[in-house]
């Protein structure tokens, strides 16, 4: 009774905890040729939201260290080198922190995250008929900064059953997938790791995945991201950054847009009203498969995510749909 | 002078890392999107004409059926428009301006697949379009059967509840309050560089209260609930 499981009709079943709305596992049988199914993969999967506080040279610099390199457009640097992710708790938006919403094609599970009931992350997990992935649509922001700290917002995927031993894969401009090994450089001998988090973040433009000989898990992004596997059995992708101090490499201001959301130009909003911060929306698509199939999973969907269908809409009087042409019209026309 | 030049030029400019990662100043970010939008606006009429020619290949008026079609073709040439339907805005005038009341008008949704390679699975895509009023809508695929649509026994007709969703990014939405009605259906299979056309018609208007709202716990019947 405690879980609700839904299928997409293609052999993938996602289970959610009824009381919290949290996802807890995915069963997946990939349909192979001839309609048969591959053996079933049963993967525990939990979605987390959190943030790293960015290095702020005005108060994080160690006395005497004048090399206060703040986090910013050109640098990702958490305020402490091995700062654990500040995990966001769920919070109540309206009467509850989670909602199961049936849709004509499937199910949406809405969950809200934030502090002291200021919900600033809204996550919609969708399982949809005939779609080979689990869709995670998120709206993040305005990122609160009243605690005087910036925040670099991360979506983390926990797959404790996958023993990836510090190895994960990210795409190189949607072409080759490159093997990444935590705290390791293929081209030189990395002996001292100064930044165990920032030093293990890599560019992701289409997908990031981890795998072992039994199971693979891929996250397909809809735009360029930074991503990593900081802890074995997890993947994370950074979705939004808000810093309070300039990194002194660029345009002389921190990543702290406060015009957020509202266009300050009439007619949408008056120029005097400054927003509380940028709001971003995006979609991650999660795919689960058998052992060492991460690249195959990602490739099967990433071109379609890049080149999404174009939608055109028009209208016409409904009587135009049905031919009410009489023979005379026909004769006239032929005449 | 090519209709795609301005879009290509804008996409060249947005290769800058500030545009890809959003680390530029806000007004710079908006300038990037302004340039891309200007390129899209320039390219759209050209794409539309390709789509319409695909929907109504030039035919001589050899039959009454084509006569009916020419009316539909003219009307869609006037009203068909590209609807970006992005995550952060719910804009599609052609959809929200369709007069469904009293069955006066129907909406046509053309889904164009820009992928040129055939994927393993037949490609389907979830389409979510805003509509102007709550109700139960029929969604019927009519692409190359537009001519014969009057014969359709409706076997490819889906009935869909319009549901209320929060409008994205309340700056742009033209809706007074923050919610919109949305029709959602599965389009496809989509062939490479192919287009499919659906007709959306209001079957049964519903009052705002009796429509399927977000809190209903009933699961759609196409889902199996596995204990």
CA B71, distance to chain mean position in Å, is 21
Lowest-pLDDT range of B18-22, B58-62, B157-161: B58-62
Contacts of A153 (CB under 8 A, 6+ apart): A49, A50, A51, A121, A140, A143, A238, A239, A240, A241, A242
Give the whole-angstrom CA distance, residue A313 versus residue A263. Answer: 27
Count of A-B CB contacts under 8 Å: 226
**In this predicted model, which residue has the larger pLDDT, B188 or A334?**
B188
Mean pLDDT, rounded, for B54-78: 64
* Residues of chain B positioned with their CB less than 8 A from the CB of A71: none
**Both tokens of residue B23?**
């680390």
Mean pLDDT, rounded, for B146-163: 54
* Residues of chain A positioned with their CB less than 8 A from the CB of B20: 223-224
Around Cβ A33, how many Cβ atoms within 10 Å?
6
Q: Do B106 and A6 touch (CB under 8 A)?
A: no
Q: Do B216 and A102 touch (CB under 8 A)?
A: yes
Mean pLDDT, rounded, for B71-76: 82
| Residue range A119-167, pLDDT digits in tens | 899 999 999 998 999 999 999 988 999 899 999 999 999 999 999 999 9
Q: What DSSP assignment string belongs to A259-316?
A: S-SS-SSTTTS-TT---SS--EEEEEEEEEEETT-HHHHHHHHHHHHHSPPEEEEEEE
Nearest residue in chain B measured CA to CA from A13: B226
* Residues of chain B positioned with their CB less than 8 A from the CB of A312: 48, 51, 80-83, 109-110, 112
Q: Do A7 and B226 touch (CB under 8 A)?
A: yes
The 8-class DSSP code of residue B206 comes to: -
Would you state the pLDDT for residue B54?
73
Q: Are B123 and B190 within 8 A, CB to CB? A: yes
Q: Are B98 and B105 within 8 A, CB to CB? A: yes
Query: How would residue B87 be classed by pLDDT, with cut points 50, 70 and 90?
Result: confident
* Residues of chain B positioned with their CB less than 8 A from the CB of A308: 114, 125
Nearest-CA distance from B1 to chain A in Å? 24
Q: Which of B88, B121, B149 faces A321 most closely, judged by CB atoms?
A: B149
Q: Do B110 and A311 touch (CB under 8 A)?
A: yes
| Residue range A194-205, pLDDT digits in tens | 999 999 999 999
Q: Which of A1, A281, A333 faces B61 most closely, judged by CB atoms?
A: A333
Q: Do B67 and A102 touch (CB under 8 A)?
A: no
Lowest-pLDDT range of A1-15, A25-39, A68-82, B38-52: A25-39
| Residue range A60-118, pLDDT digits in tens | 776 666 567 899 988 899 999 999 999 999 987 766 778 888 888 889 999 999 987 67
- Tell me if ipTM is over 0.85: no
Nearest residue in chain B measured CA to CA from A27: B226
**In this predicted model, which residue has the larger pLDDT, A164 or B79?**
A164
The 8-class DSSP code of residue A220 comes to: E
Query: How would residue B146 be classed by pLDDT, with cut points 50, 70 and 90?
Result: very low
Query: How would residue B145 be classed by pLDDT, with cut points 50, 70 and 90?
Result: very low
Q: Do A278 and B61 touch (CB under 8 A)?
A: no
Q: Do B79 and A315 touch (CB under 8 A)?
A: yes
Where does residue A174 fall: left (phi above 0), alpha (psi -120 to 50 degrees), or beta otherwise? Answer: left
CA A11 to each of CA A8, B164, B199: distance values in angstroms, whole numbers, following the listed order: 7, 29, 30
Instruction: Give Rg (Cα) of chain A.
Output: 24
In a mutagenesis test of the B interface, which of A12, A26, A70, A104 is the best target, namely the one with the most B β-carbons within 10 Å? Answer: A104
pLDDT exceeds cutoff 50 at B59 = no
| Residue range A87-99, pLDDT digits in tens | 999 987 766 778 8
Contacts of B18 (CB under 8 A, 6+ apart): A73, B24, B28, B29, B32
Give the whole-angstrom CA distance, residue A199 versus residue A66. Answer: 21
Mean pLDDT, rounded, for A227-241: 97
pLDDT exceeds cutoff 70 at B8 = yes
The 8-class DSSP code of residue A34 comes to: G
Would you state the pLDDT for residue B178?
59
* Residues of chain A positioned with their CB less than 8 A from the CB of B215: 99
Give the whole-angstrom CA distance, residue A108 versus residue A89. Answer: 20
Q: Which of A105, A139, A313 faces B186 most closely, judged by CB atoms?
A: A105
Nearest-CA distance from B95 to chain A in Å? 6
Q: Do B95 and A313 touch (CB under 8 A)?
A: yes
Nearest-CA distance from A191 to chain B in Å? 30
Task: Give all strands of the β-sheet with A225-228 in edge-to-edge order.
Answer: A86-87, A46-52, A151-158, A234-242, A225-228, A202-204
Nearest residue in chain A measured CA to CA from B29: A257
Q: How would you class A144 by CB atoms within 10 Å of its CB: exposed for 0-12, middle for 13-18, buried for 19 or more?
A: middle
CA A139, distance to chain mean position in Å, is 10
Nearest residue in chain B measured CA to CA from A326: B64
Q: Are B110 and A312 within 8 A, CB to CB? A: yes
Helix (H) or strand (E) holding A60: none
Give the whole-angstrom CA distance, residue A324 versus residue A225. Answer: 55
Q: Do B171 and A314 touch (CB under 8 A)?
A: no
3-state secondary structure of A334: helix
pLDDT exceeds cutoff 90 at A192 = yes
């Amino acid at each position: 009774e405690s879980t609700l499981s839904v299928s997409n009709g293609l052999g993938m079943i996602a289970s959610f905890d009824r009381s919290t709305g949290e996802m807890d596992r995915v069963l997946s049988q990939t349909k192979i040729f001839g309609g048969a199914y591959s053996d079933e993969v049963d993967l525990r999967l939990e979605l987390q939201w959190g943030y790293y506080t960015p290095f702020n040279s005005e108060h994080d610099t160690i006395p005497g260290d004048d090399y206060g390199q703040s986090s910013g457009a050109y640098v990702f640097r958490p305020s402490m080198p091995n700062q654990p992710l500040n995990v966001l708790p769920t919070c109540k938006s309206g009467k509850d922190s989670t909602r199961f919403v049936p849709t004509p094609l499937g199910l949406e599970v809405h969950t809200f995250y934030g502090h002291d009931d200021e919900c600033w992350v809204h996550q919609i997990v969708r399982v949809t008929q005939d779609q080979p992935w689990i869709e995670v649509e998120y709206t993040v922001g305005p990122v609160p900064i009243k605690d005087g700290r910036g925040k670099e917002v991360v979506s983390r995927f926990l797959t404790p059953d996958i023993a990836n031993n510090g190895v994960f894969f990210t795409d190189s401009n949607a072409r080759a997938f490159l093997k990444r090994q935590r705290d390791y450089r293929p081209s030189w001998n990395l002996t001292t790791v100064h930044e165990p988090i920032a030093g293990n973040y890599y560019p992701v433009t289409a997908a990031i995945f981890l795998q072992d000989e039994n199971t693979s898990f891929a996250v397909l992004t809809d735009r360029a991201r930074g991503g990593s596997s900081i802890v074995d059995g997890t993947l994370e992708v950074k979705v939004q950054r808000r810093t309070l101090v300039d990194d002194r490499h660029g345009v002389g201001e921190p990543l702290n847009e406060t015009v957020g959301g509202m266009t300050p130009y009439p007619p949408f909003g008056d120029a005097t009203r400054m927003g509380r911060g940028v709001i971003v929306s995006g979609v991650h698509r999660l795919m689960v498969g058998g052992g060492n199939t991460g690249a195959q999973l990602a490739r099967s969907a990433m071109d379609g995510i890049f080149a999404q269908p174009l939608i055109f809409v028009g209208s016409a009087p409904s009587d135009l749909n049905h031919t009410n042409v009489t023979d005379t019209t026909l004769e006239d026309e032929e005449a | 002078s090519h209709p795609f030049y301005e879009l290509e030029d804008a996409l060249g400019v947005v290769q800058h890392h500030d545009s890809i990662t959003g680390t530029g100043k806000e007004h710079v970010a908006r300038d990037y999107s302004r340039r891309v939008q200007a390129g899209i606006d320039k390219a759209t009429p050209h794409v539309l004409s390709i789509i319409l020619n695909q929907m109504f290949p030039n035919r001589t008026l050899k039959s009454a059926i084509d006569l009916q079609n020419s009316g539909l073709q003219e009307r869609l040439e006037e009203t068909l428009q590209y609807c970006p339907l992005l995550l952060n805005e719910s804009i599609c005038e052609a959809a929200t301006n369709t007069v469904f009341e009293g069955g006066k008008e129907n909406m046509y949704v053309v889904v164009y697949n820009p992928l040129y390679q055939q994927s393993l699975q037949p490609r389907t895509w979830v389409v979510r379009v805003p509509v102007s009023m709550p109700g139960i809508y029929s969604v019927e695929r009519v692409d190359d059967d537009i001519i014969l649509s009057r014969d359709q026994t409706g076997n490819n007709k889906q009935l869909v509840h319009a549901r209320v969703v929060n409008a994205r990014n309340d700056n742009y939405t033209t809706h007074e309050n923050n919610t919109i009605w949305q029709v959602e259906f599965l389009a496809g299979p989509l062939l490479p560089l192919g287009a499919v056309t659906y007709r959306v018609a209001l079957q049964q208007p519903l009052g705002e209260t009796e429509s399927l709202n977000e809190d209903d716990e009933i699961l759609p019947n196409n889902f199996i609930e596995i204990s």
